[in-house]
């Protein structure tokens, strides 16, 4: 049996947040889950159709920059815990508009910390869980892994804003004794991911016979994790993680970008009944991302040894499920790629 909680999940209409909301709403009927999201281009309530009618699910359209509304939501729902995912999340957008990242990721996080700090009385009874990224550790050459003790060395406006927010969370734990936990996760993929990110962008473009823009030589390496496994990790850390700690979450699953794009081409040729090798012809090498980090790789030993979490899905299986989801959810893709997306796409590619 679980103790009654009213958990505020921010960014719950986004990619990862929607999976976390779904997991918590369905797994913990005794918890009230309050999804707070202002619905930017990346927020989409269609990601939540499985849970939108559940009696323990609530939605509040609020911007984390708006302190007054945050306080109201804490009061209205008697918030007991926070899982904070709301953020500007796309590195390329942070290069063209860094200030938007400072606002939401830094100031928004501090607003949320202030609201929790003022609203909660006995801090030992409440948890502020901050969801962060492996990008705060900077870029690796070809050896080594990011550990929880790796010094911060953010290289993009996005990672600088996330690193800053992590520092504020730790500062609130140290200064005001707020109970906090942070997880730093590697690259996620899976259903509901906005098609500005590498994997859904390629799936969308292969389907439509459009060029597949590979930055630089495609030699950059990322460590990929299926989004549901990240949500499972958040569940485990939320319930069993030690207060004040950081846990890295990753798949021990490193891939060069070009190899991922080739894998997507191969699988989609099979699934769409196209001639072998035909999608690969769409691969187009384009100008590199400014300041492009070479390699990320998470050492996820701590969460495994301490909390028993491990990824459940093999990469090729996860990729296959992901492609199937995008092919089966044409309307979702059509809705998010109309309007503003067109402008973004034309400006970037
Ligand atoms: P996303 O861009 O898909 O979703 C972000 C959500 O936050 C959207 O629903 C958006 O509407 C909401 N949001 C943005 N600004 C807001 C504001 N000012 N007020 C209220 N809501 C706001 O992002 P994602 O990929 O799901 O990432 C979620 C979190 O996980 C982020 O904190 C990100 O840094 C972190 N993270 C992401 C990855 C990844 O691979 N995508 C990996 C590690 C960590
Ligand atoms: O590592 C975790 C991070 O992963 C998260 O914190 C971020 O929120 C998330 O967006 C992601 O960042 P990346 O920059 O690694 O993801 P993206 O999908 O944008 O790019 C993956 C790699 O593919 C990267 O090396 C850049 C490259 N790329 C990307 C795009 C969009 C291309 O070659 N072509 C593209 O069109």
**Ligand showing the shortest atom-to-Cα distance for residue 190:** 1
Residue 65 lies in a domain: yes
For residue 340, name the pLDDT band (cuts at 50, 70, 90). Answer: confident
Q: Using alpha carbons, list the distances in angstroms from residue 345 to 85, 237, 306.
A: 25, 37, 43
**Total number of domains in the chain:** 1
Q: What is the pLDDT of residue 346?
A: 86
Residue 320 lies in a domain: no
Decide if pLDDT at 309 tops 60. yes
Residue 263, token pair as written in the block: 């894998």
Residue 212 lies in a domain: no
pTM to 2 decimal places = 0.98
Would you give the DSSP letter of residue 79? -
Of all protein residues, whose CA lies closest to atom 8 belonging to ligand 2?
Answer: 89
* Angle value at C-alpha 210, between 265 and 338, nearest 5 degrees: 115
User: Which of 225, 223, 230, 233 has the alpha carbon at shortest distance from 297?
Assistant: 223
Residue 261 lies in a domain: no
Contact predicate 251/315, CB 8 Å:
yes
Of all protein residues, whose CA lies closest to atom 33 belonging to ligand 1?
Answer: 89
Beta strands in 85-136 (DSSP E): 127-133
Residue 272 lies in a domain: no
Instruction: Tell which atom from ligand 2 comes closest to the C-alpha of 261.
Output: 33
Q: What is the ipTM of this complex?
A: 0.99
Q: What is the mean pLDDT of residues 59-65?
A: 98
Decide if pLDDT at 277 tops 80. yes
CA 196 to ligand 1 center in whole angstroms: 13
Query: Can you name the residues that pair with 245 across neighbouring β-strands?
Result: none
Decide if pLDDT at 347 tops 80. yes
Cα 50 to the center of its chain, rounded Å: 19
Q: What is the pLDDT of residues 147-199, one digit of tens each?
A: 999 999 999 999 999 999 999 999 999 999 999 999 999 999 999 999 999 99
With a 6 Å cutoff on the Cβ, whether 254 touches ligand 2 is: no
Q: Which domain, by its residues, includes 112?
A: 5-189+225-253+291-313
Residue 324 lies in a domain: no
Give me the CATH number covering residue 297: 3.40.50.720
With a 6 Å cutoff on the Cβ, whether 91 touches ligand 2 is: yes
Residue 207, token pair as written in the block: 């389907």
Q: What is the mean pLDDT of residues 66-78?
A: 98
Cβ burial of 285 (10 Å; 0-12, 13-18, 19+) is middle
Q: What is the pLDDT of residue 339?
A: 82
Residue 150 lies in a domain: yes
List phi, psi (to 5°) of 109: -65, -40
Contact predicate 3/214, CB 8 Å:
no
- Integer Cα distance of 185 and 233 in angstroms: 10
Selecting among 135, 196, 229, 293, the annotated active-site residue is 135
Q: Mean pLDDT for the chain?
A: 97
Decide if pLDDT at 2 tops 60. no
Residue 284 lies in a domain: no
């Amino acid at each position: 049996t679980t103790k009654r909680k009213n958990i505020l999940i921010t960014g719950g209409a986004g990619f990862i947040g929607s999976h976390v909301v779904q997991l918590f709403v369905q797994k913990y009927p005794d918890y009230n889950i309050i999804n707070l999201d202002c619905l930017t281009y990346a927020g989409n309530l269609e990601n939540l159709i499985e849970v939108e009618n559940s009696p323990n699910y609530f939605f509040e359209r609020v911007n984390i920059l708006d302190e007054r509304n945050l306080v109201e939501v804490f009061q209205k729902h008697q918030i007991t815990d926070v899982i904070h995912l709301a953020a500007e999340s796309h590195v390329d957008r942070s290069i063209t508009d860094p200030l938007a990242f400072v606002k939401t990721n830094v100031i928004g996080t501090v607003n949320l910390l202030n609201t929790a700090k003022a609203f909660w009385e006995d801090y030992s009874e409440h948890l502020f869980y901050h969801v962060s990224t492996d990008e705060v550790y900077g870029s690796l050459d070809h050896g080594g892994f990011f550990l929880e003790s790796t010094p911060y060395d953010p290289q993009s406006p996005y990672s600088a804003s996330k690193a800053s927010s992590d520092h504020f969370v730790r500062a609130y734990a140290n200064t005001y004794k707020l109970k906090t936990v942070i997880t730093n996760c590697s690259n996620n993929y899976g259903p509901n991911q906005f098609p500005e990110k590498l994997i859904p962008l390629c799936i969308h473009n292969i389907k439509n016979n459009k060029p597949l823009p590979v930055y630089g030589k495609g030699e950059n390496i990322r460590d990929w994790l299926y989004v549901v496994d990240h949500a499972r990790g958040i569940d485990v850390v939320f319930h069993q993680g030690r207060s004040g700690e950081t846990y890295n979450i990753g798949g021990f699953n490193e891939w060069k970008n070009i190899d991922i794009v080739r894998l997507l081409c191969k699988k989609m040729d099979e699934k769409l009944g196209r001639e072998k090798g035909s999608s690969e012809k769409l691969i187009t090498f384009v100008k590199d991302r400014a300041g492009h980090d070479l390699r990320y790789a998470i050492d996820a030993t701590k969460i495994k040894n301490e909390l028993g979490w491990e990824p459940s899905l093999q990469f090729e299986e996860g990729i296959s499920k992901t492609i199937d989801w995008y092919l089966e959810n044409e309307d979702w893709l059509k809705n998010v790629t109309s309007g503003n997306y067109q402008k973004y796409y034309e400006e970037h590619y």
